[in-house]
Amino acid sequence: MGKFKIKDALTLRAGNNFRLADVDPSSTPGFSGDKDDLKSRFEHFDDELYDLQEKLFATARAGGDSNNDGEADTPAPSLLVVLQGMDTSGKGGAIRHVLNLFDPQGTSTVGFGKPTEEELEHDFLWRIRKHDPEPGQIVAFDRSHYEDVLIQRVHEWVDEPEVERRFGAIRGYERELAARNVHIIKVFFHISRDFQKKNLLKRIEREDKHWKYDPGDIDERKLWDDYMAAYEDAIRRTDEDYAPWYVIPTDNKKYARMALKFLILNGLRNLDLSWPGRDFDPEVERARLEESD
């Protein structure tokens, strides 16, 4: 009971024939335990995750040679985690609970809100590219380049030819990242409409959550079905092995955070990281250290 595994997280992969209606937002695929089981499983791999992130960062600092062969034909790997979801789906909370395990110098979070006037003067990917992961980094996008297809499309601020162009630009951008050894994990946090209503009501009624509330969230909520159709289409069109989409049921936020954590663990494991080789003689350096007193 409750033994959620890596393979369970991987079953959340969407694929090109994905149907959002097939995913129950209140379900917890692969997990059948109680709250204590969930907490225990969430923390189970923390030591390994911290170790992998440190190896990732060290690999880049040492020049990109993660295989100890003395050569670095490609940049050191990095990891990009893209989080999308409707308002109140818990993207920010998931980032805090999962990434706070890691060394801050090797991780960063970027939130993409409404474009500024300067950003609107450029192509939609201009503001995104400025935050591409550097070698050895784990970067999380709280919303992302997909916003400029989803919102624009739902509100009909762009026509379908422009939507097609943007999908093509996104696929090209993600191929480019993958060619630079950026490993991409894209996650859609799927909540139910009822669950969002409860979350919005908390923001309206609770003083400690007023700062999160935006009256515009209710206007967007009225377009729920349009957003679901737009998300489904975007996921279908851009799910690739080099940039896979995972759809996580998120009415149970603790489950969603665990699933995200396991996807990141799987991504780091797949990098086959090892400690960079040394370029000094330990005996010589030990002797020099003794002589320094």
pLDDT band at 114 (very low <50, low <70, confident <90, very high): confident
Beta-strand runs (E) in the chain: 78-85, 107-111, 138-142, 182-190, 245-249
Query: What tens digit of pLDDT does each residue of 164-193 get?
Result: 999 999 999 999 999 999 999 999 999 999
pLDDT value of residue 67: 44
Query: What tens digit of pLDDT does each residue of 12-58 get?
Result: 999 999 999 999 999 999 998 899 999 999 999 999 999 999 999 99
Scan for tokens 């970027």, then name that residue.
110
In whole angstroms, give the CA distance from residue 240 to residue 236: 9
Q: Rounded to two decimals, what is the model's pTM?
A: 0.93
In whole angstroms, give the CA distance from residue 230 to residue 8: 26
- The encoded tokens of residue 142 equal 């709280």
In whole angstroms, give the CA distance from residue 217 to residue 88: 9
pLDDT band at 63 (very low <50, low <70, confident <90, very high): confident
Coil, strand or helix at 112: coil
